[in-house]
Amino acid sequence: MAAKPIIEQFRQLKPNFEIVVSCTTTTGFCLADQSKHADILIYFPIDLPHVCKRAMKTVQPDIVAILETEIWFNFLHYAKKQFAAAAIVNGRISDRSFADAVRVRWFYKKVFRLLDACLMQTETDAKRARFFGAKAEIIGNSKYDVQLPQQGELDWNAALDLKEGEPLVVFGSIRGEEEENLTLDAIANIQCKVLFAPRHIERAEQILSKAQARNLSAGRFSLGETDARLVILDQIGLLSSAYSRASAAVIGGGFAPLGGQNIIEPLSAGCPVICGPHMHNFRQPFEEGVRTGAVLAAADSAQIARHVQQLLADPARQRAMGEAGRRLVEQHRGSAKKYALRLAALANSPDSKKQGVSEKPMR
């Protein structure tokens, strides 16, 4: 999703380029396939010398754009052997990744030497990249430029048997058993319709069993069991469109120390956001969201339930939080075009298309 707006902008600048998108997970692959922004979609090659060498000879890229932190030595080594320009875009280095990388600083210095451009989200990310010798630039977060599906693409009132104006709370990207238990405990104390979207949809059946053990009326969206109070969204590609209909969104990944999931989508939809405190992978939108009143932090199930109940009882506050979220997103739009311009410049730069590698591949 972070790549999509960059690709859209890059196509306008370089319409003759063929775009190959790779993913590391089945969920990511399915989502990328649905979004149709790649000419060719593949799985990311395992970082072994013979695998990466074959992948590069097959694709023969002119530019390799690495999203966020997918930094693999052999992949980059053979990209440069293929005379490709290489860049990190929408770059991010988390607290945990940085702490781990510092221990093997010598290795990451070798990796960063293979990059022609290191384009990062924030000053903190740029400083961390510079620690390893990179000439890092601060561009911003391209996820602010992701356009949400139009509200008319799916009628959530009809899909969930909702009356016009009836409240809906979306629990989005709930990740891991700890968060499942915590959020289901909160839902037991919330009296409204809930759309529950696990980060991994293969968890749907286990979540259904947990909900029923709490005496919650629950069903699966894919099976049409939408008359239940708690509907488990077990289909990929629908979650982002639900935020425009929601009265509030509870976003996972931050209730347990997992780094958080994407809160920019509900903010962009004008939906009040509730999330946990462990949001270091989305630190900037989280901290700004709390400061501007678009985001509420909750440490446990009781706080989640209390925040939701208070929002449902106060439509004016819902609207105020939603408008604050929209303003926050609008202030940060434009990064995708800047990334595309820098990639287009690499395509035109003969200096970036040099072999530039002396180290042997890692075995």
CB 260 within 8 A of CB 267: no
173, amino acid identity: S
**What pLDDT was estimated at residue 123?**
95
pLDDT by residue for the chain (363 residues), tens digit each? 889 999 999 999 999 999 999 999 888 898 899 888 899 999 999 999 999 999 999 999 999 999 998 889 999 999 999 999 999 999 999 888 999 999 999 999 999 999 999 999 999 999 999 999 999 999 999 999 998 775 556 899 999 999 988 999 999 999 999 999 999 999 999 999 999 999 999 999 999 999 999 999 999 999 999 999 999 999 988 999 999 999 999 999 999 999 999 999 999 999 999 999 999 999 999 999 999 999 999 999 999 999 999 999 999 999 999 999 999 999 999 999 999 999 999 988 766 655 455 566 766
* Strand residues in the chain grouped as ranges (E): 20-23, 40-43, 63-67, 85-91, 117-120, 136-138, 168-174, 193-198, 218-220, 230-232, 248-251, 273-275, 295-297
DSSP assignment string, 305-333? HHHHHHHHT-HHHHHHHHHHHHHHHHHTT
DSSP state of 93: -
Task: Write down the pTM of the prediction.
Answer: 0.87
H/E element, 307:
helix 301-312
Three-state DSSP at 170 gives strand
Fold of 151-331: Rossmann fold (3.40.50)
Q: For CA atoms 260, 266, 270, 272, give the dihedral sign.
A: negative
Q: Which CATH architecture has domain 3-141+334-352?
A: 3-Layer(aba) Sandwich (3.40)
Q: Which two tokens stand for residue 1?
A: 């999703």
Question: Is residue 224 packed enough to be buried (19+ CB in 10 Å), middle (13-18) or exposed (0-12)?
Answer: exposed
Please, are residues 129 and 112 in contact by the beta-carbon 8 Å criterion?
yes
For residue 203, give both structure tokens. Answer: 């968890």
How far are the Cα atoms of 53, 82, 111, 168 from residue 47, in angstroms, in the given order? 10, 16, 13, 44
**Environment class of residue 19 by beta-carbon count within 10 Å: exposed (0-12), middle (13-18) or buried (19+)?**
middle
| Burial degree of 31 (CB within 10 A; 0-12, 13-18, 19+) | middle
* Angle subtended at Cα 11 by Cα 341 and Cα 18, rounded to the nearest 5 degrees: 115
Residues 147/173, Cβ–Cβ less than 8 Å: no
The structure tokens 């196509």 sit at 11
Tell me if domain 3-141+334-352 and domain 151-331 are identical in fold. Answer: yes
Two tokens, residue 271 = 């939906």
Domain boundaries, the chain: 3-141+334-352, 151-331
DSSP 40: E
